[in-house]
Chains A and B, each alone.
Chain A
Amino acid sequence: RKEVEQDPGPFNVPEGATVAFNCTYSNSASQSFFWYRQDCRKEPKLLMSVYSSGNEDGRFTAQLNRASQYISLLIRDSKLSDSATYLCVGSSGGSYIPTFGRGTSLIVHP
């Protein structure tokens, strides 16, 4: 079982929709969590960090639930340009060794 699990999708939603992704992690020692975005055949880029108190950046909201060991990403008012793969990343304390989920594909259509 991978340390970080994601539903690969694809999530196919119309413009303007709200969509949510979840990611579960198995290592309870994991301390830091992030969401990365990866466009087709491009390198991943940081979308946002995930804090226990939640984190909001415009249309994007990320949350961490340590009790249930999952993190979430909510995208409101989806745009065509949001179409991409969203990667969940966790890392344990000590050495910073990030572990990636397999990614969730989002397709936003007109």
Chain B
Amino acid sequence: NAGVTQTPKFRVLKTGQSMTLLCAQDMNHEYMYWYRQDPGMGLRLIHYSVGEGTTAKGEVPDGYNVSRLKKQNFLLGLESAAPSQTSVYFCASSSVRELFFGEGSRLTVL
């Protein structure tokens, strides 16, 4: 079973470049989330979605945009990458209780 799949798993960007992280889940979950994890900071919520066509801001939304056009997919976009966005990004989905995470996407912005 695939569960939650994130692509790409690794990416190096130059400052100012744009990119999109894709999260796909096959569990028919309504809730989906994007977190970033930095050393000593734990997991911080960037954006989330409570259903197809909906998105909302989390704790650290600045510099990111998201879209949920299909229930199974949640896209995270960086329009103009900055070194401060160097991080590990985790996508998760949930039906209410347990969160299921993807394996993470390691992004470096030079």
Contacts and interface: CB of A to CB of B under 8 A. Distances in A.
A102 B41 contact: yes
Interface residues of B, number: 22
B48 interface: yes
Query: Mostly helix, strand, loop or mixed at chain A's interface?
Result: loop
B45 A101 contact: no
Interface residues of A, number: 23
A39 B48 CA distance: 24
Interface stretch (B12-20, B60-68, B71-79, B92-100): B92-100
A95 B32 CA distance: 12
Contacts of A49: 97
Contacts of A10: none
Contacts of B98: 34, 46
A103 B44 CA distance: 12
A43 interface: yes
